[in-house]
């Protein structure tokens, strides 16, 4: 969703990988729809678009994609990732056991951990991704935990150099513009959005465990390559859980972004620090003012403690060095 620049860079690299029989790309209601003529002229490539979505939903989007994939082995990649020529899907190390099913997750920095290679039967046996989760964070850990409960074994690891990624910040994952085009305030908003999302997803995994008996979202085909959610089919958490999740996201976002303690947020007017709107956190002038002024004052004691610790560590290191140098 709205990651055209990344996808147009990664798609040709995926097309150059020699091991796949199909390359399925899902456009999740991007503002500017992807076009087939922008993508590699590869007969293995299929482009599907889901219309009518107001926010990025990783778990629903990937469940939709994997349900439309035709093969028995599934390689899930984000728009910013592709397999390098080192990636050998037949490697025994990618299986749970010798001769067992393929089940491996990415490793290393820069978003590699979100990629996975898995057998369809195993993915379906645990119910796929948890569709009550919103935004980014904990979706892969939740899936890995359910795979471990199902198989009794840890998932295998895809070596870091078998995957390549485009480096980017949390603000892009959170649906904002590139960090290079935005201020430090927007970078901080992206980081706070990610923290709020990760915490809420942990809570929903605890309150509403996912599995193969859970009903997933259904989609109807409107025309060739165009799909839309069937009304009323998207899973929803119970009202009490939904309220708790909204409160957890709200408190975590504003507490992280503005460095305001939770005990203070609880007594301040709710209207000053409202919940997100379809995954986006609108900032008012008082938020920007506090971020540039009051937040820094609140952080001052912490900065002083960090500076003091660095000075103590530096003095201790010099003492130890002098002792070693003494005859």
Task: Name the more confident of 98 and 322.
Answer: 98
140 contacts 204 by C-beta, under 8 angstroms:
no
Torsion angle defined by CA atoms of residues 255, 278, 202 and 228, in that order, rounded to the nearest 10 degrees: -170
- Give residue-wise pLDDT tens across range 1-27: 999 999 999 999 999 999 999 999 999
Residues forming a β-bridge with 223: 226
- DSSP-derived 3-state class of residue 73: strand
Domain-wise residue ranges, the chain:
4-179+214-229, 294-327
Length of the chain: 327
β 116-119/73-76 pair status = antiparallel
Structure tokens, 242: 């939904």
Residues forming a β-bridge with 48: 26
Q: Which CATH number does 4-179+214-229 carry? A: 3.90.550.10
Return the ∠ at Cα 183 (arms to 182 and 185), rounded to 5°: 120
CA distances from 104 to 16, 76, 113, 134, 186 (A): 22, 11, 10, 23, 34
Task: Name the more confident of 124 and 310.
Answer: 124
133 contacts 279 by C-beta, under 8 angstroms:
no
Specify the pLDDT at position 307.
82
**pLDDT at residue 169 greater than cutoff 70:** no
- Give residue-wise pLDDT tens across range 173-222: 555 444 445 678 988 999 999 999 999 999 999 999 999 999 999 999 99
The DSSP 8-state label assigned to residue 277 in this structure reads B
**pLDDT at residue 324 greater than cutoff 90:** no
Specify the pLDDT at position 109.
84
- Give residue-wise pLDDT tens across range 30-78: 999 999 999 999 999 999 999 999 999 999 999 999 999 999 999 999 9
pLDDT average, residue stretch 266-288: 92
50 contacts 60 by C-beta, under 8 angstroms:
no
84 contacts 16 by C-beta, under 8 angstroms:
no
Specify the pLDDT at position 158.
96
Structure tokens, 94: 């990618």
Give CB contacts under 8 A, 24+ apart, made by 220-224.
222/51
Task: Name the more confident of 99 and 160.
Answer: 160
Specify the pLDDT at position 167.
81
Neighbour tally for 130: CB within 10 Å: 25
**pLDDT at residue 301 greater than cutoff 70:** yes
Q: How far apart are CA 173 and CA 191, in angstroms?
A: 9
User: How does 14-25 read in b/e, with b if 16+ C-beta sit within 10 Å?
Assistant: bbebeebeebbb
Identify the top-confidence range among 93-102, 182-191, 204-213, 278-287: 204-213
Structure tokens, 244: 């708790």
Give CB contacts under 8 A, 24+ apart, made by 4-10.
4/30, 4/32, 4/34, 6/79, 6/80, 6/166, 6/168, 7/34, 7/79, 8/38, 8/39, 9/166, 10/77, 10/79, 10/80, 10/81, 10/82, 10/166
251 contacts 264 by C-beta, under 8 angstroms:
no
- Give residue-wise pLDDT tens across range 207-263: 999 999 999 999 999 999 999 999 999 999 999 999 999 999 999 999 999 999 899
Specify the pLDDT at position 52.
95
């Amino acid at each position: 969703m709205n990651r055209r620049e990344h996808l147009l860079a990664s798609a040709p690299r995926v097309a150059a990988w020699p091991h796949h029989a199909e390359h399925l790309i899902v456009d999740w209601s991007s503002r500017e729809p992807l076009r087939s003529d922008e993508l590699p002229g590869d007969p293995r490539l299929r482009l599907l678009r889901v219309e009518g979505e107001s926010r990025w939903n990783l778990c629903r989007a990937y469940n939709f994609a994997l349900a439309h994939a035709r093969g028995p082995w599934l390689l899930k990649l984000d728009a910013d990732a592709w397999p390098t020529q080192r990636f050998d899907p037949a490697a025994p190390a990618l299986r749970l056991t010798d001769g067992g099913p393929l089940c491996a997750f990415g490793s290393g920095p820069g978003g590699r951990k979100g990629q996975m290679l898995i057998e369809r039967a195993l993915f379906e046996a645990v119910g796929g991704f948890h569709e009550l989760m919103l935004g980014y964070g904990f979706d892969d850990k939740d899936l890995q935990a359910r795979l471990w409960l199902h198989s009794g074994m840890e998932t295998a690891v895809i070596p870091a150099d078998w995957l390549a990624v485009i480096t980017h910040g949390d603000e892009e994952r959170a649906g904002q513009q590139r960090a290079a085009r935005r201020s430090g305030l927007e970078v901080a908003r992206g980081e706070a959005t990610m923290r709020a999302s990760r915490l809420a997803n942990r809570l929903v995994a605890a309150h509403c465990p996912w599995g193969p008996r859970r009903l997933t979202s259904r989609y109807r085909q409107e025309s060739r390559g165009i799909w839309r959610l069937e009304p009323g089919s998207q899973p929803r958490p119970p009202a009490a859980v939904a309220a708790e999740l909204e409160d957890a996201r709200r408190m975590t976002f504003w507490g992280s972004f503005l460095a305001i303690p939770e005990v203070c947020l609880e007594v301040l007017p709710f209207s000053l620090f409202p919940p997100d709107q379809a995954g986006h956190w609108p900032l008012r002038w008082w938020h920007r003012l506090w971020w540039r002024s009051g937040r820094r004052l609140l952080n001052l004691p912490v900065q002083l403690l960090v500076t003091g610790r660095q000075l103590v560590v530096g003095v201790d290191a010099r003492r130890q060095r002098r002792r070693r140098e003494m005859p």
